[in-house]
Chain A
Amino acid sequence: MKTLKEMLAEARQVIPEEGPADLQRRLASGEPVTVIDVRDPDEFRDGHIEAASNISRGFLEFRVASAVPDPKTPVVLYCQTGLRSMLAAKALHELGYEKVINLQGGYQKWAQSGLPTVKEATLSTDQIQRYSRHFLLNQVGDKGQRRLLRGKVLLIGAGGLGSPTALYLAAAGVGTLGLMDGDVVDITNLQRQVLHTTADIGKPKVESGTRTLKALNPDVNVIPLPTRITVDNVMDVIKDYDLVVDGSDNFETRYLVNDACYLAGKRNVHGSIFQFEGMATVFAPNEGPCYRCLYPTPPPPGLVPS
């Protein structure tokens, strides 16, 4: 017979512990690491570390193989305070997982350190049906769908590029879409700008855009921004979003959005077109060149129509 205290002491002999800051560093470095929350599903739903999968303690040995196919991958386990996960870590160690680490102080210490947590909203029956085809894709799944629903994307331009982008993002359940455009709908827009209809001619594009997107998916919070993006408003507008999609129509805006995204550390998804050809690029600050790196100056007037 062993006491609980003895069991924990025995586990500590073989399982290293790391604090919240160490785990944060591992996650930020991009190195392969699997994080497993071993608490019960209701505890997980109330708040967890975003990178974590939930396999409650009782199912751990049965389900770990699908979460961690390679037993050499580092695995970080956590529970509420770090005790249940310490015993769970020892069980995994005995199953042959070589690098099992216990998060010292558990979720409680992580949250108290001010590190980011996410809360799981319960999906409604309608949402489960609406996104059922996403759940079949391993790359999205239930976890990915919740992430999409938490996602905030700013669309600059509700025109030829902004229209299809907005429709697909709304259909996919991206939870917040900022729609920024200072123009009104013109009859010449309608052959390609599929957010707007004939009845919308003369109305602000963000108005018809918002209506179309809400009709497609009521889950989406559409924020209409009926103004042009300028040097005075750009930093304030982009700060609330995870991602910026630049579907604008002129070089001045392209450089402005590029510079602002670089300064704010936001990824800029750039799309641009000319007749039957187009360019799609993701500019990720400090992970590759920016738009200005590729094209330091705008083209001479007259050469490139927008």
Chain B
Amino acid sequence: MRVEVRLFATLVSFLPPDSREGAAILEVPDHSTVSDVVRRLGIPADLDRVTLVNGLDSRPDDTLRSGDVLTVFPPLAGGR
């Protein structure tokens, strides 16, 4: 199935090459969970993050459906 991932700020570097505007469509196995997709992108497991599915708060073990949009926000501290 296909899902869309949208990554922000420092996470953009984990998108597949040629991705544009922080988003990409990924082909993933059916019944993949949020954490499966995050792992597949190569985002380190020890990085705390906020994940949304279709704009709503989600848990790591939530199962994704075809066409879902997964959004991941990293922690940011910059302000200078």
CB distance from B51 to the nearest CB of A (A): 11
**Which of A162, A297, A306 interacts with B78 by CB under 8 Å?**
A306
Cα–Cα, bound, A297→B10 (Å): 16
**Which of A193, A254, A275, A300 interacts with B77 by CB under 8 Å?**
A254
Q: A274-B9, A277-B8, A305-B10 are in contact. Are A294 and B77 (CB under 8 A)?
A: no
Taking residues whose C-beta sits less than 8 angstroms from the other chain, chain A's interface range is 20 to 34
A106 at the interface (CB under 8 A from B): no
Contact with A along B14-30 (1 / 0, CB 8 A): 00000000000000000
B55 at the interface (CB under 8 A from A): no
- Among residues of B, the one whose C-beta sits closest to the C-beta of A157 is B79
A145 at the interface (CB under 8 A from B): no
Cα–Cα, bound, A160→B79 (Å): 6
Task: Please provide the chain A residues from 265 to 306 with a CB less than 8 Å away from any CB of chain B in the complex.
Answer: 271-275, 277-279, 294-300, 303-306
Secondary structure type dominating chain A contacts: loop
- Count, chain B residues at interface, CB 8 A: 17
CB distance from B20 to the nearest CB of A (A): 14
CB pair B74 A299 closer than 8 Å? yes
Task: Please provide the chain A residues from 223 to 262 with a CB less than 8 Å away from any CB of chain B in the complex.
Answer: 246-251, 253-254
- Among residues of B, the one whose C-beta sits closest to the C-beta of A255 is B77
- Among residues of B, the one whose C-beta sits closest to the C-beta of A159 is B80
Task: Please provide the chain A residues from 109 to 162 with a CB less than 8 Å away from any CB of chain B in the complex.
Answer: 157, 159-162
- Among residues of B, the one whose C-beta sits closest to the C-beta of A298 is B75
CB distance from A279 to the nearest CB of B (A): 5
Task: Please provide the chain A residues from 40 to 96 with a CB less than 8 Å away from any CB of chain B in the complex.
Answer: none
CB distance from A283 to the nearest CB of B (A): 13
CB distance from A49 to the nearest CB of B (A): 38
CB distance from B80 to the nearest CB of A (A): 4
Q: A159-B80, A250-B77, A306-B78 are in contact. Are A295 and B10 (CB under 8 A)?
A: no
- Among residues of A, the one whose C-beta sits closest to the C-beta of B43 is A303
B56 at the interface (CB under 8 A from A): no
Contact residues in A for B77 (Cβ distance below 8 Å): 248-251, 253-254, 272, 298, 304, 306
CB pair A273 B78 closer than 8 Å? yes
- Among residues of B, the one whose C-beta sits closest to the C-beta of A254 is B77
A-to-B contact residues, CB < 8 Å: 157, 159-162, 189, 193, 246-251, 253-254, 271-275, 277-279, 294-300, 303-306
Q: Which 5 pairs, one residue from A and one from B, show the smallest C-beta to C-beta distance?
A: A272-B76, A295-B75, A274-B9, A161-B79, A249-B80
